[in-house]
């Protein structure tokens, strides 16, 4: 009987600690970019990566077809912007590296600090759902990754964190896949990119769709929340000892 009581108490303590942690920390997550497309609309603009790097701002519309070679299309996200759907990306036969990303640099500044100083040293989570299709997957070698890249001012070096989602030859083809990465932004960078990248060598065509893309700052536990959790833990230990 006493053992069952202790088990029940332990479960209650665990649930309480978890609830306290959620209420004090996760609620403080700061979402700095979000876009979801459940309504099926393009929300302001349509973009297909073109053979030349293009800068897109909310409201722009560009069209182009992927061609053999390096392709990079990026979007700059000023504070408070809500950017439109960037996919589907349709690819054609050839060797192609395609990326699309949200870019932060000091041109887009918050009133107080600027984006880059604001994000330096913070943990940031990038998440999205990805759907990959290929019309002839056996003839395609394609890797799709979500990434965070950090450059200095002249792009002479960068740090790179990536999470490979899938090769179109594997079982994740033609299904929605949810992926996320959490990275710490270095303190010595000038340009920050979060996005999706595809590298391929293929003899077929295909497409990629992205949904529920979000970038958010992961909060650190505050000293007050740690103190509260510690106090609850101490009280729980005393009760366990008294009942033991």
Asked if the model's pLDDT at residue 79 lies above 80, the reply is: no
**DSSP category for residue 27:** G
C-alpha 166/C-alpha 106 separation (Å) is 33
Distance from C-alpha of 132 to C-alpha of 203, rounded to nearest angstrom: 16
| Cα 226 from Cα 108, distance rounded (Å) | 35
176 Cβ neighbours under 8 A, 6+ residues apart: 129, 130, 131, 211
Structure tokens at 14: 């665990």
Q: Is 133 exposed, middle or buried (0-12, 13-18, 19+ CB in 10 A)?
A: middle
* Per-residue pLDDT tens digits for 87-105: 344 455 555 555 666 667 6
pLDDT digit string, tens, across residues 115-174: 788 888 999 998 887 776 655 555 555 667 788 888 887 767 677 776 666 544 444 566
Q: Are 210 and 36 in contact (CB under 8 A)?
A: no
More confident residue, 35 or 64: 35
Check: CB of residue 216 under 8 Å from CB of residue 30: yes
Whether residue 61 has pLDDT greater than 60: no
pLDDT at 123: 92
pLDDT band with cut points at 50, 70 and 90 for residue 75:
very low
pLDDT given at position 30 = 78
Q: What is the mean pLDDT of the chain?
A: 59
Q: Give per-residue pLDDT as tens, 177-236.
A: 788 889 999 888 887 878 777 666 555 556 666 667 778 889 876 555 556 556 666 665
Partners of 47 in the β-ladder: 62
69-76 and 54-56: which strand pairing?
parallel
Question: Which residue is it, tokens 């108490």?
Answer: 9
Tokens of 216: 């958010």
Give me 189's structure tokens: 């960078």
Instruction: Report whether pLDDT(44) > 50.
Output: no
**In the prediction, which pLDDT does 209 show?**
65
Q: What is the mean pLDDT of residues 59-66?
A: 32
Query: Angle, to 10 degrees, between the axis of helix 223-243 and the axis of helix 2-24?
Result: 170
pTM of the model: 0.60
Dihedral, 222, 227, 233, 238 alpha carbons, nearest 10: 180
Q: What is the pLDDT of residue 51?
A: 29
Q: Is residue 195 packed enough to be buried (19+ CB in 10 Å), middle (13-18) or exposed (0-12)?
A: buried
Going by pLDDT thresholds of 50, 70 and 90, the confidence category of residue 12 is low
């Amino acid at each position: 009987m006493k053992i069952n009581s202790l088990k029940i108490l332990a479960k209650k303590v665990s649930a309480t600690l978890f609830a306290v942690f959620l209420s004090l920390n996760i609620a403080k997550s700061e979402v700095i970019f979000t876009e979801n497309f459940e309504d099926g609309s393009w929300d302001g603009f349509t973009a297909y990566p073109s053979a030349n790097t293009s800068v897109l701002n909310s409201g722009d519309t560009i069209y182009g077809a992927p061609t053999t070679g390096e392709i990079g299309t990026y979007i700059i996200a000023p504070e408070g912007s809500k950017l439109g759907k960037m996919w589907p990306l349709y690819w054609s036969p050839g060797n192609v590296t395609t990326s699309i990303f949200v870019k932060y640099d000091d041109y887009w500044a918050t009133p107080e600090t600027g984006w880059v100083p604001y994000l330096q040293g913070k943990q940031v989570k990038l998440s999205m759902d990805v759907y990959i299709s290929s019309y002839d997957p056996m003839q395609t070698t394609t890797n799709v990754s979500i990434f965070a890249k950090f450059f200095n001012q002249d792009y002479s070096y960068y740090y790179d964190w990536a999470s490979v989602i899938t090769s179109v030859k594997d079982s994740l083809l033609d299904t929605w896949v949810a992926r996320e990465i959490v990275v710490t932004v270095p303190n010595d960078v000038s340009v920050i990119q979060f996005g999706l990248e595809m590298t391929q060598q293929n003899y077929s065509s295909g497409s990629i769709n992205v949904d529920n893309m979000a970038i958010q700052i992961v909060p650190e536990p505050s000293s007050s929340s740690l103190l509260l959790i510690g106090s609850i833990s101490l009280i729980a230990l005393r009760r366990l000892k008294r009942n033991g």
